[in-house]
Structure 1
Amino acid sequence: MTDLEFVQVNPVGEVKACVIWLHGLGDSGHGFAPIVPELKLPADAGIRFVFPHAPVRAITINNGYQMHAWYDIRSLELDKRADPTGVAESANLIERLIERELELGVAPDKIVLAGFSQGGVIALHLGTRITHKLAGILALSTYMSEPDKLASEASELNRQTPILMCHGRMDDIVPMTYGRQAYNALQQAGFNVQWQDYMMEHNVCADEIEQISAWLQARLTG
């Protein structure tokens, strides 16, 4: 696969930090780009947002329909939901985006890896294995690919990196129990993970955006 195209939202002044935010199945980088002004981050925070477009691929559960996706979904059963090969390929593509930010002068501990649904699967997979110390990992309405492999594959560098998991209590696309399983796996593996659920479905809500804003500012400013 070639390097990913992306939507980029730059701060007004100097770039001091970066959030790489991965969309869900069938969406694109354009889907979450409008959230930047809603976060109401300080003008001097200097945070660049990068919203990559996932590769277009056939999705088995959608009768082979081609769409932006980080990996194929062959079954809705949790242990078969994320294709491990696709997860690994997409994680490698996102790691190249992180390397790009490093080349542009952003320190690894000023980079947050974020993702919604499928994108959150990639964020959790890469963020717990990457050999750079990140500022944080944001996993929204998501689950984990192969949680049984986390303990043996995890990098020590990000054990204490703050991870924020948010989920909707009424989510019928990715049930909250799937998110809780990922949260439990992270806890058991010794990661610094925080959980918050909201009265919402498979989406984001105003209270969640407010919490994400505060969390990002705690990780990336000061």
Structure 2
Amino acid sequence: MSQQDLPYVEVNPTTPAKAAVIWLHGLGDSGNGFAPIVPELHIPEALAVRFIFPHAPIRPVTVNNGMEMRAWYDIKSMDFNSRADRAGVDESSALVQALIEQEIAQGIPANRIVLAGFSQGGVIALHLGTRIEQKLAGIMSLSSYMCEPESLSAEAHTANKHTPIFVAHGQQDDVVPMAMGNAAFNTLQSNGYPASWSEYAMQHNVCMQEINDISNWLQKVLA
């Protein structure tokens, strides 16, 4: 495996895949964390969706006393404005973009690919999804926030200006306060993106109602 390859868990449909969802986990988790969600989404077999759950690189995380864990970027401070390390965000975005290119090379067009992420993974999904040159089917950000929201208007690529973006958050989230998710949503809206906002009576996790909403949204953008 080259330095450019992200290992991942893959959940394939029973027929050859016609669409893909690339779903990025949160800090300290792995691709195995969200893989069990696939059966709960009840995606119709006819849509033939392949789910890809990459494992983030292992790196020391400053706020966790430099402990090494799977992380899409370092978190140097819990401060709202400087939580995401931009260099790491760019580096992981490039790795995820390579996964998208791999799916395209396997015959799944970009506009049949959804980029999704939870917490740190959502930061990458929002960052890459708004800057990538290929038109995606949709972007999903769960219990997350935005890296350098002020840079979006200057750096955004027009390809995904009309791509649906699903933004969701738990009202009792004490890891990533809901205000951070809402700020990301507001930034997307003020930049003209067709983003939707959903909030749930939960903490930093997913709940059944959210899983049902994600399923409905995925079926809509991949219909």
Scaled by the length of structure 2, what TM-score is found? 0.98
Ranges of 4+ aligned residues in structure 1 off by more than 6 Å:
none
- Distance, in Å, in 1 between the alignment partners of 2:125 and 2:115 is 6
The equivalent of 1:67 in structure 2 is 69
1:25 aligns with 2:10: no
The equivalent of 1:77 in structure 2 is 79
- The alpha carbon displacement at 1:157 in A equals 1.0
- One-letter amino acid matched to 2:204: H
Which secondary structure state, in structure 1, belongs to the residue aligned with residue 131 of structure 2?
coil
Q: What's the RMSD between the two structures over aligned residues?
A: 0.6
1:132 aligns with 2:127: no
How big is each residue's C-alpha offset from its partner over 1:52-105, in whole Å with a ceiling of 9 and x where there is no partner?
000000000000000000000010001110000000000000000000000000
The equivalent of 1:41 in structure 2 is 43
Which secondary structure state, in structure 2, belongs to the residue aligned with residue 134 of structure 1?
coil
- The alpha carbon displacement at 1:14 in A equals 1.8
- One-letter amino acid matched to 1:187: Q
- The alpha carbon displacement at 1:2 in A equals 3.4
- The alpha carbon displacement at 1:109 in A equals 0.5
In the alignment, structure 2 segments of 5+ residues that lack a partner are: none
- Distance, in Å, in 1 between the alignment partners of 2:44 and 2:103 is 21
The equivalent of 2:120 in structure 1 is 118
- Distance, in Å, in 2 between the alignment partners of 1:24 and 1:14 is 29
- One-letter amino acid matched to 1:74: K
Which secondary structure state, in structure 2, belongs to the residue aligned with residue 98 of structure 1?
helix
- Distance, in Å, in 1 between the alignment partners of 2:56 and 2:47 is 27
- Distance, in Å, in 1 between the alignment partners of 2:47 and 2:39 is 13
How many residues are aligned here?
A: 221
In the alignment, structure 1 segments of 5+ residues that lack a partner are: none
- One-letter amino acid matched to 2:178: M
